[in-house]
Amino acid sequence: MDCFNLLCDELVLEILHRLPAAGAGTVSLVCKRWLHLHRCSKTVLSLRLPPAATPPSLSAILSRYPSLASLSLVPDSASSPDPDALLSAAAAAVAVVATHGLRRFRFLAGPVSPGSLSLFGNSCRNLCSLSVASLRRLSFRFLVEFPFLKEFSVLDLKAAHVVMIAGEGEGEEEEFPAAELPIETLSLSGIGSGELGFGWLWRSCVNLRKLQLRSCEGTGDSFRFFPGAIRGLRELELRTCRTIADRVLLLVAGHALSLSSLLLYDGGSREGLLWFLSRASPNLRKIDLRLPLDLEDEHLSAIAANFPQISTFKLQSCCLVSGLGLKSLGPAMGAALQHLALINCDAVEREPGLLTSLGQNLRRLRKLDLSYNEMLHDKELSAMLASCNSLVEIRLRGCGGLTDSLMDSIVRSCRRLEIADLTHCRGIGFSGIESFLLNSPRLSRIVVEESKLSDAAKTWASRKIIRVG
């Protein structure tokens, strides 16, 4: 400790920053000087707020972290203090102490009013990312106070406290001119059917590149202004939006000509999805689908015919597709596909030879995820891996039918492998994991239960700087 007292704060900080991640949390316990330096250098902070939290106490805490760039405030229980008061306290504290200005802010301590968010924007002008739990009324015009905001999300618009004030909503679009918001990523959850108050937002999001909708029954304006917001869209995510999925896909196919990524979970119809896949932009590169009752072989045929440049293709819990449908993807996507995920896929388990056939066509594959295929066995997967020599990542979480014998096949076929997830593979034990760690030349991370790591395996992982977990 005496030698550290001779060093200036900058040198001590440089030394502390070079400590392993496992020991970083104990730095603040050494002495008051180290505690002060640790706080002064911390750029990311997440606080759980107890029910008794007050604005003065929050201000006192934040005043100790002058370098904050990212802040999350999360309630510790259902009963939380006044969210608007806490937001005002956070804005005042951060505006005073943050040296370079807060860039990311996540406020989940309760519903906040648009007025409070406007004041927060005046105090934190450099904010690039804002996430709030909910709003006390449906008005988004406070967003003009954030001139550099690129990401905005509201986690729950269905909450009971969201109300519409008389006179707002239906005439809002004509009364207030649109603003050219810098927002590129927009995430909204729980928009109700026929909800008013979104027209101004859609008209103002002229730079939108990524849209995420969760549990929505509408878009808030009967789709009147929605097409204008999606013209430059590149990524679309629809999660449990069955009521509006078909209509959104129709508009996206007609207006979002640069769309490159689609995620569709638990929503839509067979006919609507097929229409989209037959007419969507040929620029589509990533498709992620979890549609247990809506996805069939004809959809896979449309994907194979219209999107030969797909680089990422993911299916999860799609029980109606067959091995024949999946095999048709191999020849069509073989030149471009680099990431394949067939998670909890019945066809993988019930149709022998499927993975072998895919492997022979997908020789450029770099990432493979076959998680939760309980009946997948060593022989089938080994035959596929023999052809997939470029894999750098493999995920087999929950594949209980695999055994230690597979580890030798992975080592032999996948010499470039860097990441492996073998969690909940009950047939793979001590010896398999140990052999895998010892013989994988490029492995940098393994995800597996600690109980399956022998002392020799832990020692070898430490020597080779392999991250565990």
Confidence of residue 459 (pLDDT cuts 50, 70, 90): confident
Tell me: the pLDDT tens digits for 379-415? 999 999 999 999 999 999 999 999 999 999 999 999 9
pLDDT at 164 (0 to 100): 46
Tell me: the pLDDT tens digits for 183-210? 999 999 999 887 777 889 999 999 999 9
Tell me: the pLDDT tens digits for 209-239? 999 999 999 888 767 889 999 999 999 999 9
Residue 21 has pLDDT above 60, yes or no: no
Angle at 279 between CA 219 and CA 261, to 5 degrees: 60
Residue 393 CB partners (closer than 8 Å, separation 6+): 366, 367, 368, 417, 418, 419, 420
pLDDT at 17 (0 to 100): 59
Residue 160 has pLDDT above 70, yes or no: no
**Ranges 36-45, 103-112, 422-431: which has the least confidence:** 36-45
Confidence of residue 170 (pLDDT cuts 50, 70, 90): very low
Residue 363 has pLDDT above 90, yes or no: no
Of 195, 144, 147, nearest in space to 168 by CA: 195
Residue 168 has pLDDT above 70, yes or no: no
Strands (E), 392-458: 393-395, 419-421, 445-447
pLDDT at 469 (0 to 100): 81
DSSP 8-state secondary structure symbol assigned to residue 141: G
Q: Which helix (H) or strand (E) holds 73?
A: strand 70-75
Task: Estimate the crossing angle of helix 242-255 against helix 270-279, to 10 degrees.
Answer: 10
Residues 68 and 94: beta-carbon distance below 8 Å: yes
- Helix, strand and coil content of the chain, in percent to the nearest 5, comes to 40, 15, 45
Q: How many residues does the chain have?
A: 469
